[in-house]
Structure 1
Amino acid sequence: MGEVSELPIVGWTKITPEWMTAVLRGAGHEATVAEISGQRVGTGQVGESVRFALTYNGDAKGAPATVVGKFPSPDPESRATGVNFGNYIREVNFYRHLADSAGLTTPVCLHADVDPETSDFVLIMEDLAPAQPGNQLRGTSLAETKLVLEEAAKFHASHWNDNAMDDIPWLFETKAAPRRTEPNLIGLLWKGFRERYGARIPADCVEIGEAITRNFHHFKDGYDGPKCLTHNDFRPDNMMFGTAEGGYPVAVVDWQSVGFGCCMADVSYFLSGAMKREDRKAHEHELLTAYHRRLEELGVSGYSFDEMMKHYALYSFSLFNMAFTASMIVERTERGDEMFFQMMRGGADHVLDTRALDLLPD
């Protein structure tokens, strides 16, 4: 990855041909950008993504015709969330320090910089087109789900029980991390969610939400198994899928929540919402068996399938929890409401199917 520390951190409308030329040269491309134009892409709610089309003076010498940049959200509430939770710093540091060893497919990062005081940041990355973004509302096919779980296994195996990860302060849930999500905050967000949406929340979801907030300490601290790198927002909207025209089979993006915890925090979270309930139930055992076998092929040992399935049930709360907490701390949009309720429904169904409420002490 190219790092050009003397370049200023700028918003996407301030990027000039000279600025982009310096980025590309820092990444090893000896070309000169003549013109640049940008267009927003994606549906991210805590960050803003922009595709830049580049034209060159003379021979491009293999430099890309397009790149994608990522910047802080222009919405004040969403930006405050990114700053307060360290999301922007975390994502830049992932690309700087962990992307190369994380095992799975991510976009090649050309430039990454962040101001540790303000959290202003800029990422310039490979454009993954003609791959297409996944869509939480549409979900994934069985074939796509298998591709995703293969990437998950490679990612989780890459730093399995690597104690060095616990010394990294910018990773979520490490021993060195400066702060954690407090139960009282979760309770306040759930209360706000109920007040905002009222009767729109199904009765079984109200029961699950009340149980989560009563027992949040157990949900967050009840895990004592093996640890690995985790994405923590592992859903179709944060993935790019190859098409007939090309692209990687699947690549994972949006590393604002990367942490060190239980592998099922990703797998259970993904399967809760990416597949229709009947499809998940029909293929769940097959998919989880293949994922566990792949972990073992990649060198993971001492983690039985039965132990994994207990963690799968415990982390069936994850998508439900994300649905109501994220909806209250980012910009509210019509698509966001639809997506968060789809996530909540999928999460609730998963909790009920795994009988996860029985795992809570209260």
Structure 2
Amino acid sequence: MQSLWSGYGEIARYYSPRLNHSIIVKHISPPLESIHPRGWNTHTGHQRKVKSYQIEANFYRGYASLCDDNCVVPQLLAEFSDKQQQLLVLQDLDQAGFLLRKDQASMTDVKSAIRWLAYFHARFLQHQSDDLWPVGTYWYLATRQDEFDVMQPGKLKNAAQAIDTALNTACFQTLVHGDAKLANFCFTEANEIGTIAAVDFQYVGKGVGVKDLVYFLGGCLNQDDLVKYEATLLDDYFSLLKGALQHYQINVDFKHLQQEWRSLYAFAWADFYRFLLGWSPSHYKINPHMQKQTQSALASLSI
């Protein structure tokens, strides 16, 4: 079906006569020499990718079964690993009705993904997760020192540690998907809000839910749409999160949670902007809206 990032293996579909249905096999086999699309071929990057697949196996093994129809993920059927390679045998979401992958999102698609994120974040709020990343997302500062080192000097670089600390020491922590882009969501043909599943849990770990939200919106919406729809979609997220917490019967001071995560929304933008400035400073996702949110975060730090 597709190769893994930097040639680290493949994802393939097989048919099982015994089970009488298809299965997905994610085969991780790191190359002797990795070829990164943007030239980041470092030992640190290699170790991070290898660990990410171990983390993903831990998620499917210990957490996927806790997800219900409101935040659908593929279930783990079998696994194998040795020092050289790893196999994850997963439920085929196509067979479960999640047939569509999209490279452009309608507003219905955006709202479906926001709903999935809200229920996923509610399900794992304050959940113990010692075998996942201590901080979710693939761009978090402690794992991106190479990129940080090549950033141009400036206010954001000076504030990077403070921004990271503010996000990571928040009172309310959940599991964040960590790579919540449109390509990692699978849709049904019904085209209704809620008919969606998510894949690729290599960077799942602790964090504030708005990190996933910022990353998703920044990847799906252009500058004009961010300005036009962001406030409404942020309200939708918190409304859905409140309902999801009630659904899972999680007793929490929601007013305090919402206040904290809203206050960290601009920080989440600034955190991702920091990564992009080191990794790919001409990246298409960098726009005036991201820069404005970053300035808001810096202003709240008085930097």
User: Quick one: which of 163, 167, 176 aligns to 1:230?
Assistant: 176
- Measure the CA separation in 1 of the matches of 2:154 and 2:212: 23
The answer on whether the counterparts of 1:54 and 1:66 sit within 8 Å (CA) in structure 2 is: yes
Q: Which runs of 4+ in 1 moved over 6 A?
A: none
In structure 1, runs of 5+ residues without a counterpart are: 1-39, 192-208, 328-336
- Measure the CA separation in 2 of the matches of 1:266 and 1:91: 17
User: Quick one: which of 345, 350, 355 aligns to 2:290?
Assistant: 350
User: Quick one: which of 77, 92, 115 aligns to 1:150?
Assistant: 115
> Secondary structure of 1:49's partner?
strand
Q: Residue in 2 aligned with 1:270?
A: 216
User: Quick one: which of 181, 186, 201 aligns to 1:255?
Assistant: 201
User: Quick one: which of 82, 100, 124 aligns to 1:132?
Assistant: 100
- Measure the CA separation in 1 of the matches of 2:291 and 2:230: 14
The answer on whether the counterparts of 1:96 and 1:112 sit within 8 Å (CA) in structure 2 is: no
Q: Which amino acid in the other structure matches residue 188 of structure 1?
A: D
Q: Which amino acid in the other structure matches residue 242 of structure 1?
A: T
> Secondary structure of 2:108's partner?
helix
Deviation digits for residues 211-265 of structure 1 (CA, Å, limit 9, x no counterpart): 332222112112323100111211112222223699x932111111111111111
Q: Residue in 2 aligned with 1:107?
A: 74
Deviation digits for residues 274-295 of structure 1 (CA, Å, limit 9, x no counterpart): 1122222222222222211222
TM-score (norm 2): 0.76
What is the Cα-based RMSD across aligned positions, in Å?
A: 3.3
> Secondary structure of 1:131's partner?
coil
Change (3 A) 1:212 1:303: farther
The answer on whether the counterparts of 2:148 and 2:275 sit within 8 Å (CA) in structure 1 is: no
- TM-superposed deviation, 1:171: 2.3
> Secondary structure of 2:21's partner?
coil
Q: Which amino acid in the other structure matches residue 132 of structure 1?
A: L
- TM-superposed deviation, 1:90: 0.5
> Secondary structure of 2:254's partner?
coil
1:52 counterpart = 2:9: no
Q: Which amino acid in the other structure matches residue 135 of structure 2?
A: E
The answer on whether the counterparts of 1:72 and 1:88 sit within 8 Å (CA) in structure 2 is: no
User: Percent identity over the alignment?
Assistant: 19
1:212 counterpart = 2:156: yes
- Measure the CA separation in 1 of the matches of 2:67 and 2:7: 23
Q: Please identify the structure whose Cα radius of gyration is greater.
A: 1
1:64 counterpart = 2:21: yes
- TM-superposed deviation, 1:169: 4.3
Q: Residue in 2 aligned with 1:331?
A: none
The answer on whether the counterparts of 1:46 and 1:82 sit within 8 Å (CA) in structure 2 is: no
Deviation digits for residues 334-362 of structure 1 (CA, Å, limit 9, x no counterpart): xxx9xx8223x25x523414633323443
> Secondary structure of 1:110's partner?
strand
- Measure the CA separation in 1 of the matches of 2:204 and 2:180: 10
Q: Residue in 2 aligned with 1:310?
A: 263
Number of positions where the alignment pairs a residue of Structure 1 with one of Structure 2? 276
- Measure the CA separation in 2 of the matches of 1:65 and 1:239: 19
The answer on whether the counterparts of 1:215 and 1:361 sit within 8 Å (CA) in structure 2 is: no
| Equivalence map 1:24-103=2 (5 Å) | 40-41=1-2, 44-45=5-6, 47-54=8-15, 56=17, 60=18, 62-72=19-29, 74=31, 76-77=34-35, 81-84=45-48, 86-103=51-68
Change (3 A) 1:181 1:353: closer
Deviation digits for residues 14-69 of structure 1 (CA, Å, limit 9, x no counterpart): xxxxxxxxxxxxxxxxxxxxxxxxxx42674575433234374xxx5x52145343
- Measure the CA separation in 2 of the matches of 1:128 and 1:82: 29
Q: Which moved more, 1:218-227 or 1:291-300?
A: 291-300
The answer on whether the counterparts of 1:110 and 1:126 sit within 8 Å (CA) in structure 2 is: yes
- TM-superposed deviation, 1:315: 0.5
TM-score (norm 1): 0.65
The answer on whether the counterparts of 1:241 and 1:251 sit within 8 Å (CA) in structure 2 is: yes
Q: Residue in 2 aligned with 1:173?
A: 135
